[in-house]
Amino acid sequence: MRNGFTADDVGTQTGRRFLVTGANAGIGFEVSRVLAARGAHVVLACRDADKAEAAMNRIRVDVPNADLSFQLLDLADLDQVRDAAKAILSAPRIDVLVNNAGVMIPPRSLTKQGYELQFGVNHLGTFALTGLVHPHVDDRIVVTGSIAHKSGEMDYSDLSASRGYHNWARYQMSKLANLLFLFELDRRLSAAGRATQAIGCHPGVALTELQRHLPLPLRAMTPLASPFFNSAAQGAWPTLQAATGARVQGGDYLGPQGLGEVTGRSGPARAARMARDPNLAGELWLRSIKLTGVDPKL
């Protein structure tokens, strides 16, 4: 690896099992494709079986002997998260859980349990899934953040966004929650004497399906902007480093090394001071237990 990590630096993963959420498109798909090409068994955890099947067929075009399977997972429904966790716990153990799935700046929408969709999917669904299956994960738990977390503020006063909805502010809040969860999870795993580590990453600015909710004029400009941003494959490099990098340690946070952490090879990223605040993280942890009904018991 020279001047940062890319997909070329992913070593053999034969005999290892990865569960990747949101694996049918974008960064999740690229991560799954690279891992399969290195010999891993990849469980594609997605909310749409047809899209997951299509993704597995696409991977097999490049990797004919890809070892793939599917797990139904809808992070917008905590009841279904529990069902998915039961299935995961009944299957062989996982080496790495890659929490990749997320939603970005949709119109105001709610999860099945009535939470604003971005906080509900990006944080609460991820917290619940991880809290239920972490005893089944041997090596690493990857949590996906965003450079948007640096402008986020935690506000628990209106989790259904009934009094007002600003899609960017809610996205920023959900991504700050991801990083608070990441660092608190790693602290608690370490305190419990677990070998499993929590590692964070962010893709910079990658052109993926997450941008589908951008206003039409901005979406129309995407092809013109593409030379200045990461492709989905490039945006996957930090996730691949977090999931497989030999020199990665618990509590690390990884992202692109270019100007503003927007593009480039993967390496150490900067988390806002607020994201590393143990008091904020502890409060979020306790609130998340109450909101999801899931206690990770860490």
User: What pLDDT score was predicted for residue 209?
Assistant: 57
User: What pLDDT score was predicted for residue 77?
Assistant: 98
Q: Which residues of the chain have pLDDT under 70?
A: 1-2, 208-228
User: What pLDDT score was predicted for residue 207?
Assistant: 76
Domains and their CATH numbers in the chain: 14-292 (3.40.50.720)
d(C-alpha 245, C-alpha 138), whole Å: 15
d(C-alpha 116, C-alpha 108), whole Å: 7
Residue 165 bears catalytic tag: no
User: What pLDDT score was predicted for residue 221?
Assistant: 39
Q: Which of 115, 156, 165, 171 is catalytic?
A: 171
User: What pLDDT score was predicted for residue 230?
Assistant: 77
Amino acid at 259: L
Which residues, at least 6 apart from 109, have a Cβ–Cβ distance to it below 8 Å? 116, 117
C-alpha triplet 152, 120, 132: angle, nearest 5°: 115
